[in-house]
Amino acid sequence: MRTSPTDKLLRLAAKRQIVRTKDASELGIPRNYLGRLVRKGILEKVRRGLYTSPDFSGTEHLTLIEAAYQLPKGIVCLLSALRFHNFTTQSPHEIWMAIGQKAWAPKISSPPIRLIRMSGASLHFGVKEYKVSGTVLRVFSPAKTVADCFKFRNKIGLDVAIEALKECHRSEKATMDELWAAANICRVANVMRPYLESL
């Protein structure tokens, strides 16, 4: 028995929770089919090119998923990584993502994305992949996130960096060795030393 395009898309929506127009194309389903399913109430449009089933209860990481689809090589960093690792209860109004120093930056209107340019080891060290709602999110590790907060303290505030370090230590999400390694990669070991030694 042949599976209808609607069944294929609903099965994919149940598995991944978010369906892209690209996913429909890969299944051999015309992109305009998604619009038809939205009009029938079978799917809901989340953002341009992103759809979900109406019974999807949502995820707190939905905007991160949207950003990851639009910037596949981006890495969730700084304030957004702090939120992802539960080092803060505040939700930043922008998605903070790291990209390469010379990487092309697409124009993205929604969700709002704040790009941070990094290079070399600073860009590649501590990148972890987390599977969320069928999507792979690339997020800096807790230790790298803390070190980045000290490196970019002029952008986010030293108080945020110190609080991130304390919360990381309290929740035991990174060892002291991991924190030192990240501090050295980000070249902020001297800045972080007094705070690390006081823990």
Q: Is the pLDDT of residue 117 over 60?
A: yes
For the stretch 167-177, what's the b/e string if a residue is b when 16 or more beta carbons lie within 10 angstroms of its beta carbon? bbbeeebbeee
Q: Grade residue 57 by pLDDT with cuts at 50, 70 and 90.
A: low
Q: C-alpha distances in angstroms, 64 versus 60, 132, 139, 141?
A: 9, 10, 10, 16
Q: Is the pLDDT of residue 112 over 70?
A: yes
pTM: 0.79
- In 3D space, the residue among 22, 97, 35 whose CA is nearest the CA of residue 63 turns out to be 97
> What is the reported pLDDT for 87?
92
pLDDT, greater one: 48 or 59: 48
> What is the reported pLDDT for 56?
65
> What is the reported pLDDT for 59?
63
What confidence tens digit (pLDDT) does each residue in 156-173 have? 999 999 999 999 999 999
What confidence tens digit (pLDDT) does each residue in 60-108 have? 677 888 888 888 899 999 999 999 999 987 778 899 999 999 888 878 7
What confidence tens digit (pLDDT) does each residue in 177-197 have? 999 999 999 999 999 999 999
What is the strand order of the sheet 95-100 is part of?
113-118, 95-100, 75-76, 135-140, 127-132
**In angstroms, what is the C-alpha Rg of the chain?**
19
Question: Can you read off the two tokens belonging to residue 34?
Answer: 């998604």
> What is the reported pLDDT for 71?
87
Name residue 6's amino acid. T
Question: How many residues can be counted in the chain?
Answer: 199
What confidence tens digit (pLDDT) does each residue in 126-152 have? 999 998 876 789 999 999 999 999 999
The pLDDT of 100-123, averaged and rounded, is 87
What confidence tens digit (pLDDT) does each residue in 7-51 have? 888 888 777 777 878 888 888 888 888 888 888 888 888 777 778
Query: What rounded mean pLDDT belongs to the chain?
Result: 88
Question: Can you read off the two tokens belonging to residue 91?
Answer: 């939700």
